[in-house]
A and B are shown apart, each in its own frame.
Chain A
Amino acid sequence: MADLMKNPPEAYLIFKEELRKAEIEKERLKKEYQDKLRNMDVELSYLKEQISSQQQMMKTTLNYASRLENEINGLQKTIEEDKNRRKGSFH
């Protein structure tokens, strides 16, 4: 038994080496996965920012269009009132 402890069988040593390699590979994969996850989080935050900016752009443009619509309506009303006033002045 003591002899076995001193000189473990070759199969055991190979197994131990394979185990060590597997541990290193596991760590590498874990790190790679964590890096990918971190990058994905960053990309996702950029995408969220982009969507929010596009929404803001739409909001600004729609506000502008609404203001323009109000101004056109106001102008049309003024033109109508002016027309009616002119008509009234002839009769």
Chain B
Amino acid sequence: MSFFQRIFPILALLSFLLLIGLVWKDYDRPYLEYQRKFKALLDQKSTGSSKPVEFGFGYRQRWSKELGRVDRCETCHLGLDDPRFKDAPQPFTTHPVIAEHAYEKFGCTECHGGQGMATTVEDAHGPTENWNKALYHDNFMENSCSLCHGEYLQAQAPVLFRGQTMFFEYGCRGCHKADGKARTVTGPPLDEMSKRVKSDWLYRWLMGPKDYWPQTKMPDAKFTSQEAADVSAFLLQGPGPEGQAISGDAGPGKTTLLESRCTTCHTIEGKGGKTGPELSKVASKAYPERLFKVVKDPHALWSDSKMPIFGFADKDINDIVTFMSQEYMDLDLNENEAARQAQLVASGSKERGKELAVKQGCVGCHSKIEGVKEIGELGPDMATFGVVHISLLDFGDIKVPFKERTVPNWIYNKIKSPRLFKEGLKMPDYYFSAEEATAITTYTLSLKGKEVPASYTLPLGERPSDYAPQGAFGKIVDKYRCLVCHKINGKGGEVANDLSQEGSRVQEAWIKKFMKAPDTIRPMLEERMPPFKILDPENDAIFAYCRTTLVTDKVEDLTGPVDKMALGDPQIIRDGEKLYFEKYGCNACHQINQKGGLVGPDLTETGKRLRPEWVVYYLHDPKAFVKRSVEPVYALTDKEIQALTAFVLSSRSSVTH
């Protein structure tokens, strides 16, 4: 009998055993272990109920044909819609309430990332050899929101919104192209620098912007000493400051400065607003002649400047500048050091400086740099960066374990430490905090250039308003830069209140007086409206516009009913007083005659400030206009509203509390 005949039984048996092996290998799939665990938990939680627990073992799958996705996450994540599993360990934890985002329609991976087709933990969560798009960390998850909800999300996706805002405010867009998004020029123009700033200051600024102004948006290009000197030399080409020497009185200057509430926008020794730069060392930065020009007409020097034209007289400006020159000096500055720095700059190479300015992309944020074309974008195109292929991202010399070689990790690290990966990288360092870097990473990840089917899109959020007042009012708004702090019809800042319905709200005499000398309405706020030297025609124009345009019919239509309310009736006023103090405790938040809480506006002068129609309208629904209003929404009856309005508008001498 041949050899092969002899070993035939052994081989046949071996084959059979291997067949068993095949079956075993396939049958004992990891997901079954999770399902068994879940069933045990389910049995535990259902003890006592009469119906036997139904649980089918097997794969669970959500298939969305339109999105082209197959998600099998629920095979292990079994407790997603069972509230009893809120405190169960993963993978069984209940999913947070998502209402409209039911995964029946959307699956899981559209928002969370990962490999939906997989049924093992490592493959599903990723990254694996053949699937790099791993699960998004919670931090980055909001990036998917804009796929369906568009780019105007705000409160709905706060991290994404913050990242989006920062991307434009910090000048990322200046260097990195992002299709369809307008380029923003974040920094001031750099023309005539020699007339503006002192050379040693510019050197120090380029070596470390945050040393001078901690909240600056300018990143640190990490220049060497020589490079900073060269760039300074390049920028400072030209004649020195011109104009008459400044001489005034520092005393009155100080008074005017304090009265003008500059700290609403500027910081002085770190305290103040965020809109303008730090002023406590400005004398070591700018020439007095320049300071004069800036205070007199900031718009002539920089058309996008946020600083209003105050309308000071020249004498006042002289005083202010004299005061600043004397007081706002950099006391830490060593004279010899400053001289040495100035010398460095004086001997710096202008050609090298220009090269550096071009290489570092100063034009991304600054305009009017002599001899440098304002051409685009130096950094990579961001339009589809969210879905860039991992093999195109260079981790450089950093040894990154495989599990962490993902696109979000690269982006986050790049933003946090731009020159981390290897020598010779150009991107400057913003010293972002972890949350800031996370927000910007989230935004970058959202730039996918992808579209989902129309049936899935649901644009949310408000489009930016293109409100641009024209005519006389428009010029006033432009001069005083109202929209830096206030919002009108969706456009503007949120430092101060929304003025869109101001015409329906305030009384004429009061607002005109206020514009000339703004006083305190809300005790708690730090920012105060600066007193501009508003001219009478301007004041009239402002009021006319407000009263005709910034009104709402909801309030105007109340004029009839309000006329019928006997708001002067003493009995009604007393009823109102009772309601104010006893039933509703309004004094917990509001002040009258310096007594009461500080949360809401002071109501002492309301009789002169607000129109009765407005008070009635507001009491009906405090959140109708100001969505963020803290005032509780009491379901006040009409009589109560009448009484409260009467009381609030009444003269204060009769208040007994």
Tell whether A and B belong to one assembly. no
